[in-house]
Amino acid sequence: MEPLPSVAGLPFSFGRFTVTLAPEQPLRLPPYAGGMFRGAFGLALQRVVCVTRTFECAPCALRDRCIYPYVFETPPPSSTRVMRKYPAAPHPFVLEPPEPGGTVLPAGRPFPVGLTLVGKALRYLPHFVSAFEQAGQVGLGSRRVRCGVRAVEAGRDGRRWTLYSAEDRVFRAADPFEEHLRLELSAPERDGEPGAPSRVSLTLLTPLRIVYEERLSGDLPFHVLIRSLLRRLAHLSYFHCGGDPRTVAFRDWIASARGVRVAEHALAWRDWERYSSRQQTTMTLGGLVGTVTYAGHLAPFLPLLRLGQVIHAGKGTSFGLGRYRLAEDGSSAGGAEPAG
């Protein structure tokens, strides 16, 4: 991935990690495994951090100081200046389940789960790892297959370091792997990066769910994608990195994005179902998959598009939805084919 910007502007920080697990028995993955891992992880995190052992957040006097509500429910504080009408702010983490779904992982074969932590959530990496261990001990999937955490690695600048392993069970500091950015979003620059491409392609690797004009968008004009990325980045920065969304010139960026056209597309809608144990119902969470190529003056948008590969776009990102791969020469970015 190309380097991200480090100029004055909206602050943002994150760390990218890989949790490697291994099943004791064959583990069957659902068609999309994000729901399985997020559900197991959330339940385990609550068990790991709840000091009252009631596992009831709403009446708890420690709610405002507890890791679980902050990470998994993320209520906006009473003093918030944005998202006042929303019950939850963007979660400070993104899970990337193993691909492809609908397969059986052999017993003993390690598999990776990607984990991105944003801002203040990085200090809780040991709790995240403990939650993965707890979820693995309880078991994953309908057959409750036990999975052991083999290792946790940090990735940065194309290199990887082991922060935790099953052999020594010692947590090493994640601070050196936190990436700090300041994105200049006061207005789109006319020139942008020298030699920037006039075409880019996105491959949507997991279903992308973007709400535009109060409904899920069935196509992906460039300005709709940029609206989603700007809004998500601004809110993540505000709630988790101490940023001020008022520094983002939303109208200017959207107006500029309208000048970028869709050159090619092969997008389709893919439905994904998951069972919510909390709501005790089956939920359908469909979204767009496939590829789309944009053409126009793209230089100002490249830092945002690159960062979108880290934070994902749209709704359901904590499940791993909205993940995409960017190709900056306009060629296919590879990956998922559109599905009906």
- How many structural domains does the chain have? 2
Is residue 275's pLDDT more than 70? no
Residue 241 belongs to a domain with what CATH number? Answer: 3.30.70.1900
Boundary residue ending a domain (160, 179, 198): 179
Residue 300 lies in a domain: yes
80-102 pLDDT, tens digit each: 777 666 667 899 999 999 887 78
Residue 334 lies in a domain: no
Structure tokens at 212: 């535009």
In a shared domain, residues 160 and 281: no
In a shared domain, residues 207 and 152: no
**Mean predicted lDDT score pLDDT of the chain:** 88
Residue that has been written with the tokens 């056209």 in this structure: 261
Residue 5 lies in a domain: no
In a shared domain, residues 37 and 127: yes
Instruction: State the amino acid at position 222 in one-letter form.
Output: F
In a shared domain, residues 266 and 126: no
* Average pLDDT rounded to a whole number, residues 236-246: 92
Using left for φ > 0, alpha for ψ between -120 and 50, and beta otherwise, residue 95 falls in beta
Structure tokens at 186: 């006061």
Residue 259 lies in a domain: yes
* Average pLDDT rounded to a whole number, residues 138-154: 95
In a shared domain, residues 268 and 216: yes
Of the pLDDT bands very low, low, confident and very high (cuts 50, 70, 90), residue 7 is very low
Is residue 236's pLDDT more than 90? yes
pLDDT at 219: 94
Of the pLDDT bands very low, low, confident and very high (cuts 50, 70, 90), residue 4 is very low
- Please state, in angstroms and rounded to a whole number, the distance separating the CA atoms of residues 174 and 154: 8
Beta-carbon neighbour count of residue 52 at 10 Å?
12
- Please state, in angstroms and rounded to a whole number, the distance separating the CA atoms of residues 229 and 99: 24
Strand partners, 105: 27
In a shared domain, residues 96 and 138: yes
SS3 of 96-159: the string is ECCCCCCCEECCCCCEEEEEEEEHHHHHHHHHHHHHHHHHHHHCECCCCECEEEEEEEEEECCE
| Distant-in-sequence, close-in-space partners of 136: CB < 8 Å, separation ≥ 6 | 21, 146, 147, 148, 149
| Distant-in-sequence, close-in-space partners of 300: CB < 8 Å, separation ≥ 6 | 188, 189, 190, 192, 253, 256
In a shared domain, residues 132 and 78: yes
In a shared domain, residues 23 and 142: yes
Q: Which domain holds residue 124?
A: 13-179
In a shared domain, residues 172 and 200: no
Is residue 119's pLDDT more than 90? yes
Is residue 6's pLDDT more than 60? no
Residue 336 lies in a domain: no
Boundary residue ending a domain (159, 179, 199): 179
Q: Is the four-CA dihedral 185, 320, 172, 242 of positive or negative sign? A: positive
In a shared domain, residues 248 and 300: yes
In a shared domain, residues 45 and 161: yes
Task: Please list the helix, strand and coil fractions of the chain in percent, rounded to the nearest 5, in that order.
Answer: 30, 30, 45
Residue 86 lies in a domain: yes
In a shared domain, residues 141 and 124: yes
